Chain A
């Protein structure tokens, strides 16, 4: 599968180390369709290719949006892209968040750090069909107030009367008026039906493990919880084996798994 050459339509610095690229497809072609949670392989010419979740609205057809943390040579090259520069896109790959399983149930979205980006499309999708869901809760934790992703959008969501948004940071100076504490500490403040809610979690694995434990303490079953895993994905179609996790390939069978099905592998070090 060869990359399609998209061009950068817009770049936006989200936080100190995180930026968003709006990409437009080649003239005369449609933006590729994706489901919430899917990822693309983005190729910076002459540097390399990395898997990046789509962070935009699945209902939006004008451009393709990815939010990227600058952590290595490839993402550093992407950070330097300007309007009109080309970028290779292969995808979309992987499965998607089970947003339709949330119909007639409460939905709890728990994001940590950059993990909000892969979850944002699911929130767009839920808000588009808001009447089909019960209570919708977003719990977001990150390092400091300066690391809050999509800050304006979070403020806008918080203003929705039918969406409950809780944000917490690990540390802050006195000027921060919001919550300080681990993301697990805001779970008890959220109102949802723990016996039936659909929970979707994305963030660092340690954060996800602690979050699952806290959710269990509040009566949430492991079969109600979905997590997004991250492994070293290369081919994205289940051939190369770089992203094998137990009997699964994260790129093909994941990246989203129901927690009770992935738990034995989730708790093994260095797998």
Chain B
């Protein structure tokens, strides 16, 4: 039976994982598809997945009263979407919706949390990789709020 193993094995996020860890992760993976306009998740919902975007684009947004939905980040091909599944209380902080047809691999966060509790080496590998994702996103967010393109007289 064809599995998502080759796709995950080739992705930089899963590079250099031990074989049995990759197998555990493949067991928690499934293919998903979102049409343009579909919500991947909504603010406040339970966060029990993360996504490896294979194709398309997802917009992270927050609804601001008086302004409507404000886009804070877009996530595209090859990117990792979502880390709230890792941190209690496991709730999404933003809305995420596909701005175009998007195909992704969904990783079941509950499944991975359970496996990580049983195998701390797996948990460490996942946390190490997500720390990089979080750091990259934090750096980018800080750069965005610096408003560096503004020039004072």
Contacts and interface: CB of A to CB of B under 8 A. Distances in A.
Contact of B72 (A168, A171, A189): A171
A188 B149 CA distance: 21
B128 interface: no
Nearest to A178: B74
B76 interface: yes
A19 to B, nearest CB: 14
B140 interface: yes
B5 to A, nearest CB: 23
Interface string B133-153: 000100111011011111111
A72 B72 CA distance: 31
B27 interface: no
B78 A189 contact: yes
A51 B24 CA distance: 60
A228 interface: no
A142 B149 contact: yes
Interface string B43-77: 00000000000000101110000011111111011
B153 A181 contact: no
Contacts of A210: 139, 143
Contacts of B116: none
B43 to A, nearest CB: 14
B70 A171 contact: yes
Given A179-B57, A180-B71, A207-B148, A188 B143 contact: no
Nearest to A169: B71
Greatest chain B CB density within 10 A among A112, A178, A179 is at A179
State the 3 A-B residue pairs at the shortest beta-carbon distance, nearest first. Answer: A113-B149, A182-B143, A174-B69
Interface of A: 69, 71-72, 112-114, 141-143, 147, 168, 170-174, 176-182, 184-185, 188-189, 203-204, 206-207, 210
